[in-house]
Structure 1
Amino acid sequence: MSTVAPPRPDAAPQPPARPSLGRRVLDLWLRWWRRLTAMRTAIILLLLLALAAIPGSLLPQRSLSQNNVTQYFADHPALAPWLDRLYLFDVFSSPWFAAVYLLLFVSLIGCVVPRLVEHVRALRAAPPPAPRRLLRLPDSAELTTPLAGPAALDVVEEELRVQRFRVVRREPGAGPADSAGSSGMELSAEKGFWKETGNILFHLSLVALLLGLAGGKLWGYEGSILVTEGQGFCNSFQQYDTYSSGPLVEGADLTPLCVDLEDFRAEYEEDLTASSYTADITYGAPGEDGRSTTIGVNDPLRVDGDRVYVTGHGYSPRFTVALPDGRVFEGVSAPFLPADQATMASQGALKLPDLGAGTDDQLALEGFFAPTGVLQGGILTSIDPRPLSPQVAIIAYRGYLGLDSGLPQSVYSLDQSQVERGRLAEAGRANLAVGESLTLDDGTAITFDGYAQFAALQFSHDPGQVWVLVSAISLLLGLLALLLLRRERFFARVGPDPGSGGTVLTVGSLTRGGGESAARFAELTDRLRTALDARSTQPPAPSSVGAAPEPEAPPRDR
């Protein structure tokens, strides 16, 4: 028979077994998961998301206006490249904004789902038993009544059910002992579950709102284009001046829709600020008869989830170009972009690559348009955004425009590198009113015919807009329930009154949220005292056992 030798008294204690690598990784992951899904972390991430959106409202964004971004680069040539490296001109599509967005999304889900499960369990569970010492609650009182204990609790239950409390009665021995060490009949009641329901609805709606915004970014797209009166465009990314789409959008997914601009009107206040932009358009699918409507800044065209907005306007000067060989080109125009929104003074360029006869020379006009033009020191400027006295200052260039060089260039400005390289040479300049002409050295006549207005239109497709709207409404409802409702618990226990032989009713209340708990408890206590007094003064109901029969009524005379 073998025996195990006892350990030696002087033996060193054995170190605890080191957990395995997998166990340590799991513990580390659980620790970080608990930190990420804490409500404090969700609040911090929400604050970071709000702070991250500030640069998107202070700096121009490429998704909204590429021209403003270009102007910012021109005004701040040293600072703009560094801001661009930090994605501050593309805030809402930057990696760091997406990281905060995703972490907030995960944190909210990990925080709300356990609370939802807990809330469902609380809805199905009975109110908790009364505390051991009710008089230690913040709101508590003792009421004496000559009624028996069950009758007193009947009165309390009736009053609480009128106020929509959920009530549970417990018999002696089912609850904890009272202050005297004995167990009596008790009552537990609670209401205000809508407060926690509103809290969970608020957070779930916030998650749904984030999902809707993310869905709109993934499957949505938008494009902007300048359309002159009498012209139009179709929903194709090749036609837009600026176009952005989600990573899950393909060219075939674009809605087949064409829009023609028939007329545009801009109205101004007395201080010359714009009061409204309205555009008469015709829209419809390609090959179908168009339908007419009027849209404005806050009144877009809505077609099957697509929206067409008016975001601005400007002027397109019109020219007639008469060549020496007798050819005449009438009504050529190009949008001039506003350089000053207060006076609508605009700058632009008109490129005419196909006017040369038997030569490779091309013609370009770079100009300044003034809706209400005046000369100040020999320089044309505008003093009013309304077209009261339209004038244009143009510089004509002849030579090579570089349109077939394969390098991208703006259609609204002239490539100055061609001028610097000597490929474009100035052929003449002049300030022209409507009807006046500039004649170049080769006999080409350029006549200023007037202007047409253009509208800046934006086509937006956002499949998550209805989801976002519903989520925002439910988020507001949940917030109202969270702020306005209160969670209340009420307890009552009966015991004998040694002095009068009646019953001592001990009541207490716990209120969370809403305030004024003492006043509400005092009002409820007064109502209970009044109901107990009224019940104790009622005569007892006669018993049907041994009761004398009522005398029969005498017959009535006929």
Structure 2
Amino acid sequence: MAAPDLGFVEMMRWAWRQLTSMRTALILLLLLALAAIPGSVVPQSDVDAMRANNWKADHPDLTPIYEKLGLFSVYDSVWFSAIYLLLVVSLVGCILPRLRVYWRGFRAAPPKAPRNLTRLPDSDSYLTDAPTDEVLERAAEVLRKRRFRVVVADGAVSAERGYLREAGNLVFHGALLVVLAGVAMGSLMGYQGGVIVWKDGSFSNNLTQYDDFKAGRFVGVEDLDPFRFTVDDFDVEWIDDPTNPRYGMARKFVAGIRYTEKPGAEEKSYDLRVNHPLSVDGTDVFLIGHGYAPVITVRDGEGEIVSSGPVPFLPEDQATFTSFGVVKASGATPQIGLEGMLYPTYSGDPNNLGSVFGSLGNPLISMQAYVGDLGLASGSQSVYVLDKTNMKLLGGTTENLFRVDLCPAKIDGEENARCETSTVELPDGAGSVTFEDIKPWVRVQISQTPGKMVALGGMIAALAGLLASLFIRPRRMWVRARREDDGSTVVEVAALDRSSGGEVGEEIVEVVAALKGETVKEEL
């Protein structure tokens, strides 16, 4: 006869049992780990907006698909949040019933001794002249010293140990909940932002000065710590050994900064290095990148300055630090746009532009110039992307392409004696471009993660629970003593290991040796 169909209530109970099973919790934990992979592979907008924007510009076909899937903000996506919440529910539903079972088992007395101990796989017996009470008393004492819980009843000693193995399992799974709670605290009550600061430039921790900023749901502008810092110096150590395969790359870089924790506070100094953040009242300032910012002045056809200041160029080659950048002069009529490359140590070959080293040995910029509409009215354009849809390339013929090839008049404030051309006139009377100076910049990440210590504590507890569940061996042991008609006492000792791979034979030998003492008569 076919089984009756499940009703709504029965179906819900079945679904709940499936969700709260340990197997489902492990599957969801694996899915969460897999779901986090795109967050490590695809640039995240809330972590590094510049890198994400560059990726979008380089992959215009994939970008719409990735945006619909939420791959540029994985940890805020609906599907990631769904896995996260299901894992939390599954762990809670799995742990609570096991806690009740464990508590009952923990309080329960060790089970009574089986009728025939010698039938168990691991057992031993011997004869002695000692009374049964003395044997049982000694057995209880020996087992207590071996950290067993002991009960003496019905002419036998029942002992059990290893209760903490299941406790380790529960601690491990409970600690996962603590880790998830810590991550949630950081997401809801913390914030993270990034900003590029030039050498001799300053940053104040307020929303208007961030290049990109992401705040948790419960974070307001008033929660930002009012610290301020100035980048006084930036020191880079380059690998200058030609035999080194990493020749030309930066080995280490340090930003010397001055900071105040709040307005009017004492000014302090700090050397900001990679993996050595500055901590101010729970807010961490990380050094995560560096590059160069040419100081470029653009004048229109009337000679009026329409754009001036440092413009960050983004490194595209870590070996030579060849960098890409965009200059937008929106104040000109028509508007002027420039895009091109910066070569920190120009190779000297105008037909094959390139850089041979990452330091500022002989800097050169080579850009193309456009006039028209920069498309800034949409308000969604990246500062590192030049929209050329409504712009015309100046001198735009393949045979006679006009390039803005300039060296800086100064290098980090010092006169550049090697520079021959720091200003060029644009074709068609569009204006001029001057390469005034070049400054190093550093990219810092400012973050506050209030749940990180909670997550760390959870991870430590999870490790402790895992070790306990792996190395603690739960086992039971029984000792029975009975008097024979000839006046001797038969002592039977047996043990049962409750974990796979456990060996109790050696422990039985040790317990029997401790029980025998000087009262042994003969072996059975």
With the shorter chain as reference, the TM-score category is: 0.7 to 0.9
Q: Secondary structure at the match of 2:207?
A: coil
1:459 aligns with 2:442: no
Q: State whether residues 419 and 425 of structure 1, in contact with CA within 8 Å, keep that contact through their aligned partners in structure 2.
A: no
Cα offsets for 1:225-273 (capped at 9, x unmatched): 1111111222233332222222333333333232322222222334234
1:348 aligned residue? 325
Distance change >3 Å, CA 73–CA 200, structure 1 → 2: same
Structure 1 spans left out of the alignment, 5+ residues: 1-17, 173-184, 538-558
Q: Secondary structure at the match of 1:373?
A: coil
Distance change >3 Å, CA 58–CA 138, structure 1 → 2: farther
Alignment of 1:110-121 (within 5 A): 110-121=93-104
2:291 aligned residue? 314
Q: Secondary structure at the match of 1:205?
A: helix
Q: State whether residues 237 and 251 of structure 1, in contact with CA within 8 Å, keep that contact through their aligned partners in structure 2.
A: yes
1:156 aligns with 2:129: no
1:431 aligned residue? 405
1:220 aligned residue? 190
Moved more, 99-108 or 447-456: 447-456
Cα offsets for 1:316-355 (capped at 9, x unmatched): 112456789887899832111112222211111233455x
Q: State whether residues 339 and 346 of structure 1, in contact with CA within 8 Å, keep that contact through their aligned partners in structure 2.
A: yes
Q: Secondary structure at the match of 1:314?
A: strand
Q: Secondary structure at the match of 1:90?
A: helix
Match of 1:520 among 506, 512, 522: 506
Q: Secondary structure at the match of 2:494?
A: strand
Q: Which amino acid aligns with 2:168?
A: G
What's the TM-score once normalised by structure 1's chain length? 0.80
Cα offsets for 1:442-497 (capped at 9, x unmatched): 59664434411101111111110111111111111111111111112111112233
Distance change >3 Å, CA 133–CA 304, structure 1 → 2: farther
Q: State whether residues 267 and 277 of structure 1, in contact with CA within 8 Å, keep that contact through their aligned partners in structure 2.
A: yes
Higher relative contact order (CA 8 A, sep 6+): 2
Alignment of 1:331-370 (within 5 A): 332-353=309-330, 360=333, 363-370=336-343
What's the TM-score once normalised by structure 2's chain length? 0.85
Q: Secondary structure at the match of 1:471?
A: helix
Distance change >3 Å, CA 536–CA 144, structure 1 → 2: closer
Query: Aligned equivalents of 1:33 and 1:55: distance in 2?
Result: 30
Query: Aligned equivalents of 2:162 and 2:24: distance in 1?
Result: 27
Moved more, 501-510 or 234-243: 234-243
Query: Aligned equivalents of 2:38 and 2:306: distance in 1?
Result: 47
Distance change >3 Å, CA 95–CA 63, structure 1 → 2: same
Cα offsets for 1:97-150 (capped at 9, x unmatched): 111111111111111122222223333332221123323323122222121211
Q: Which amino acid aligns with 1:408?
A: S
- Counting matched residue pairs gives 494
Query: Aligned equivalents of 2:43 and 2:121: distance in 1?
Result: 56
2:413 aligned residue? none
Q: Which amino acid aligns with 1:296?
A: R
Q: State whether residues 483 and 514 of structure 1, in contact with CA within 8 Å, keep that contact through their aligned partners in structure 2.
A: no
Q: Which amino acid aligns with 1:208?
A: V
Q: State whether residues 155 and 532 of structure 1, in contact with CA within 8 Å, keep that contact through their aligned partners in structure 2.
A: no
Match of 2:255 among 251, 255, 279: 279
1:237 aligned residue? 207
Superposed displacement of residue 71, structure 1: 3.5
Superposed displacement of residue 52, structure 1: 1.7
Q: State whether residues 57 and 385 of structure 2, in contact with CA within 8 Å, keep that contact through their aligned partners in structure 1.
A: no
Match of 1:128 among 101, 106, 111: 111
Q: Secondary structure at the match of 1:164?
A: coil
1:486 aligned residue? 473
2:490 aligned residue? 504
Superposed displacement of residue 219, structure 1: 1.5
Q: State whether residues 344 and 385 of structure 1, in contact with CA within 8 Å, keep that contact through their aligned partners in structure 2.
A: yes
Superposed displacement of residue 291, structure 1: 2.3
Superposed displacement of residue 205, structure 1: 0.8
Cα offsets for 1:337-389 (capped at 9, x unmatched): 112222211111233455x6xxx455544332111112456142112222222
Q: Which amino acid aligns with 2:360?
A: P
Distance change >3 Å, CA 322–CA 97, structure 1 → 2: closer
Alignment of 1:157-236 (within 5 A): 157-170=140-153, 172=154, 185-236=155-206
Q: Secondary structure at the match of 1:123?
A: helix
Moved more, 98-107 or 276-285: 276-285
Q: State whether residues 306 and 329 of structure 2, in contact with CA within 8 Å, keep that contact through their aligned partners in structure 1.
A: no
Q: Secondary structure at the match of 1:282?
A: strand
Q: State whether residues 209 and 471 of structure 1, in contact with CA within 8 Å, keep that contact through their aligned partners in structure 2.
A: yes
Q: Which amino acid aligns with 2:343?
A: A
Alignment of 1:58-137 (within 5 A): 58-137=41-120
Superposed displacement of residue 510, structure 1: 1.6
Q: Secondary structure at the match of 2:200?
A: coil
Structure 2 spans left out of the alignment, 5+ residues: 410-420
